[in-house]
Structure 1
Amino acid sequence: MSWGTDQQGYGHNQNHAYGNNYGYGNEHGQQPYPAQQPYPQEPYPQQYVDYGQVDYGQVSYEQQEYAPEHVEEQVAEPDAASTDTSFTDTKETELPPKARKPADRDRYFDTLRAVALVRVVTYHTFGWAWAGMVFPSMGIMFALAGTLMAKSLERPALKVIRSRVRRLLPPFWFWGFFVIVAMMVHDWMPGWQIVFWVVPLGDPPGNAWGQQAWEILWYLRTYLWFVLLSPLLLRTFRLAPVAVLLLSLAPIVVLHNFWEPPDNRFGSGLTDLATFLFCWVLGFAHREGVLQRLKPALVVLLSLAAIGFGGWYAFTHQAETGSYDLDDIPLAQAFWSAGFVTLLMYAKAHFEIDFAGLTRYKRLDRIVTIFNARAVTLYLWHEIALILAVPLIDQFWNVPAFEKYLPLESQWFMFGIGWILIAVFILLCGWVEDVAAKKKPKLLP
C-alpha cells in the first residue's frame, strides 16, 4: 500500500500503485462458538473497533454482549463492532447478574493492529521490499476487520453498514479537505470525479503534486467495498465455510492468469478486492468458529504452502516489477498474506492467545490503546507527516548545532521526526473520529 512514484503493480494505474517507495531513500459457521461466560448487559462506551477505538474497561472483541435496544438509543446507535458479542448458550444467559464477571480485555487483536500501523509507517519511510514479508500489515488489517464485520452482522445488515460508513467518512472528509485545497493551490481543478472524494468507492482523483498523499486511499476504498459486500459474502460463506474460504483465492488467480482487469479505477478496485478477499473471509472463519475445528497439522501445512508459493512467485518474477516487493505483485501478496495471516488467526483460535500481560507495561499498553483508538487518523495523516518531515529537516541545516550534532541525513532521523508529527496530527485531528462516533470529542482516548 505504499506509493510515491510512478511504479505500478499488476493491474494498477496512476490512481493506485501498491509498492512504490517513499521519502529520502528508495523508496474467512455452522458450529456455535465455544460457550463464553456471560457478562452484565450494560451499555459499554461506544467505540471503534475496525479502525480501533476501544477503552480498556470494555470487554474483549470475542466476549462483548449486546446492549438492549433502549440502551442502543441512549448511546447514539453504537456500531456493531463496539457491541460485539460471543455466542452464549441459554443456560449461561439466564445466570443471575452476580454470577457474571466482566472479562479482561483481549489485547491480541489490538496489538496486531498497532504493529501493522507501525510497519506501514516504517515501510513508507524506508521502502524496504522485505517489510511486507516480515509482517503483511494490510492482510492482517483486512482479516481483523472481517472478523469484526462478521460479528457486527448479527445485527441488521443495513444498520451495520450505515454505522460503519458514518464512522469512516467524516475523518476522510476532514483529511480530504486539506489535501484538495492544497492540490487546487497547485493548479489542480477537479471534474465530476470529485464525487470519489465524497464517497471513495473509486480512487479519488488528484494531481501529481498531491499523489503521495492521496494514493493511500486505496485501502479505504477496498475496506468500504468489503463492508458493502459483507452481508452477501457472509451468507455465502455459511453455506460451505471451508470450501468458500479456500475458493476465495480463486479470483486473484483468475485475474492473474486468465483475465487482466482494465487499467482504470474499476480494474484497480477489482484487483485489490481479489488480493485481500481471502484475508477478509478468514476473518469470517475466525468469528464463526471454523478455524477451531480444523486440525493443526492441516492448517500449518496449507499455510506454509501458501507462504512458500507467494515467496517463490515474488522472487522469480522480479523482472516484471523490478522488485520482490509483495505490494507490487498481487498474486504473491494474496498467497503470502493468506498463509501468514492464517497462522496468526489460527494461533488465536487454537491457543486462545490474548496478550493480557501487556497491561503490566503501562506505557506500551497506552500506546496500543491510542493506536487502536486513532487508527483512522494515524493512517490518513501519516504520509503527510512524513512529507512535512522533509522540509522541516531542511530547516535544521540552518542551525549550526543541529547540523553538527544531529544525523540530519539519516532516514532514521526522518522516521523519528515523522512520528513526532504523527503524534501532533493525532492530537489535532483525532477528535474527528469521536465526532464520527457521535461521542464527545477528546484530545486522546
Structure 2
Amino acid sequence: MRNRYLDLLRFLAIVRVVVYHVTGLASLTLVFPAMSVMFALAGSLMAASLDRSGPAAVLRRLRRLLPSLWVLAAVFVPAMLLTGLPLTPRVLLWLFPVSDPPANSWGALALSPIWYLRDYLWFVFASPIALWLFRRAPLPTLLTPYVLLVVIESGIWPDAPGPFREFGLYFGAWMLGFAHHAGMLRRLANRVLVPAVLLLAAAGGAWILTHPGPRGFDLNDNHLGNALWSLAFILVVLGRGPSGAAWVDRNAVFGRVVTVLNRRALTIYLWHMPFVVGLTPLFDGVGWSHEDPRGLAIRVVLVFALVGVVTLAVGWVEDIAARRRPELLPGGRRTATRTGPPSSSTGNRVPAQRGAPESATAEVTAG
C-alpha cells in the first residue's frame, strides 16, 4: 500500500525545488529543505529494498534511475557537442554519472541538477555496508557524515573536494531515512526529540545568520547550517509526522496531481532546469522581473506548463524502468487494496512505513 504522507512530502519537495529555481527565493530553502528531505526519503526506500532484496536492490535502483537520464542525454549531449563540447571519453559519464559529466558553457547551468544523481548513485553503492554498520552502531554511523562536515567547515580540512562536503551533508540525511525505516525516529521520546530539535534548529539558525553566503541566507550556500537545520526539520516531519495521509485523496484532482508528480519525479527534476535557463532571457526581455510578483507567477506557471509537456512526452520511461505498464498520465486506475493484517495502518509503529514507500513511486527528486 502507498504511504500518502511520504508521497505528500515528495510532492512538496518537487514543487519547492522548481519554484526555487525559477524565483531564486532563498527563504524557500529555510521553509522546506527539500534536498535533505528527499535524501532521507530515498534512504528509507533503499533500506526497505535492501531488506526485501538484499544487495540486488542496488541493481534495481540503478535500473530505475538511469533510463530517464539517458533520455535527457540523448537530447542534450548531441546539442552540446554541436556547440563546443569536446568529444572525449568523459562524455560516457552521461551514461553512468559516478563523476560530474562534462558540459559546455550553457549546458553546465541547464544540466546542473545532475550532481544529485551523482550523489544518489554513490549513496546507493554505499548503502549495503552503511545499513549493516547502522544496525550495529546506529548513533556513531549516523553521526559520522556530520562529523566529517564539521571537520571540513571548521577549517581542519579546508581543501576537501566538493563531493565530500555533499557526502557530509546529505548522506547523514540518507541514514536518517534508515532510522525512519527502522522506526527509531518515531520511538524517540518527546523528552529527547523536542530538546534535540530545538538545539539543532538554534545552532543551525545561528550559523546561518553569522555565516551568510553570496545569496544571503540560502541554505545551498551554507553546508553546516543546512545540515543542522535540515536535521531538525527531518526529525519533526518523519519523527512526528502522521503514519499516513488518506485525506490527500479526498479531493480527486489533488490526489491525482500528487500521484503524477511522484511517479514523474525524476523526469520533472531533470527537465525543469533547462527550461528555467532557456526562458530566463525571454522573461527578462518582456519585463517579467524577479521583483514583480506577477512576473514571478508567470515564470512559475510557464515553467511548470513546459515541464508538463515534456513529462507527457517522455515521462513514461519511468514506468518502463520500474517495470510498470507505461502511462501518459499516472494514477488513472485505482490499484486494488491488498487484504492483510492491519499493521500497515497503525499509527505508532513503523511496519506501515517499512514496506509502503517502495510502491509509492519514484525514488529521486529535488534540487
Do Structure 1 and Structure 2 share a fold, with TM-score over 0.5?
yes
2:301 corresponds in structure 1 to 416
Alignment of 1:280 with 2:174, yes or no, is yes
1:77 corresponds in structure 2 to none
Pick the aligned partner of 1:345 from 238, 252, 265.
238
Alignment of 1:291 with 2:181, yes or no, is no
2:217 corresponds in structure 1 to 324
1:333 corresponds in structure 2 to 226
Preserved contact between residue 313 and residue 332 of structure 1 (Cα < 8 Å) = yes
Pick the aligned partner of 1:437 from 322, 325, 329.
322
Alignment of 1:309 with 2:199, yes or no, is no
Separation in 1, partners of 2:294, 2:87: 37
Preserved contact between residue 26 and residue 215 of structure 2 (Cα < 8 Å) = no
Counterpart residue identity of residue 300, structure 1:
V
| Residue segments in structure 2 that go unaligned for 5+ positions in a row | 331-367
1:232 corresponds in structure 2 to 129
Q: TM-score, normalised by structure 1?
A: 0.69
Q: CA shift at 1:388, angstroms? A: 3.9
Deviations 1:83-127 (A, max 9, x none): xxxxxxxxxxxxxxxxxxxxxxx3100000000010001110111
| Residue segments in structure 1 that go unaligned for 5+ positions in a row | 1-58, 61-105
Preserved contact between residue 190 and residue 205 of structure 1 (Cα < 8 Å) = no
Q: CA shift at 1:268, angstroms? A: 2.1
- Alpha-carbon spacing, 1:392–1:432, altered in 2? closer, same or farther (3 Å): farther
Preserved contact between residue 91 and residue 101 of structure 2 (Cα < 8 Å) = yes
Preserved contact between residue 307 and residue 336 of structure 1 (Cα < 8 Å) = yes
Alignment of 1:376 with 2:254, yes or no, is no
1:160 corresponds in structure 2 to 57
Separation in 1, partners of 2:305, 2:195: 42
Alignment of 1:355 with 2:225, yes or no, is no
Q: Percent identity?
A: 38
Taking CA–CA contacts closer than 8 Å with sequence separation of 6 or more, which of the two structures ends up with the larger relative contact order? 2
1:130 corresponds in structure 2 to 27
User: Secondary structure at the residue paired with 1:200?
Assistant: coil
Separation in 1, partners of 2:283, 2:42: 36
Preserved contact between residue 183 and residue 210 of structure 1 (Cα < 8 Å) = yes
1:259 corresponds in structure 2 to 157
Counterpart residue identity of residue 132, structure 2:
R
Separation in 1, partners of 2:58, 2:141: 23
Separation in 2, partners of 1:369, 1:424: 17
2:342 corresponds in structure 1 to none
Q: TM-score, normalised by structure 2?
A: 0.83
Taking only aligned residues, the RMSD between alpha carbons, in angstroms, comes to: 2.2
Pick the aligned partner of 2:41 from 144, 151, 155.
144
Larger Rg, first or second structure (1 or 2): 1
1:427 corresponds in structure 2 to 312
Separation in 1, partners of 2:170, 2:271: 23
Q: How many pairs does the alignment contain?
A: 326
Counterpart residue identity of residue 290, structure 1:
M
Preserved contact between residue 130 and residue 141 of structure 2 (Cα < 8 Å) = no
2:117 corresponds in structure 1 to 220
Q: CA shift at 1:391, angstroms? A: 6.1
Preserved contact between residue 72 and residue 270 of structure 2 (Cα < 8 Å) = yes
Preserved contact between residue 430 and residue 443 of structure 1 (Cα < 8 Å) = yes
- Alpha-carbon spacing, 1:309–1:408, altered in 2? closer, same or farther (3 Å): closer
Separation in 2, partners of 1:409, 1:336: 31
Greater helix percent: which structure?
A: 2
Counterpart residue identity of residue 155, structure 1:
R
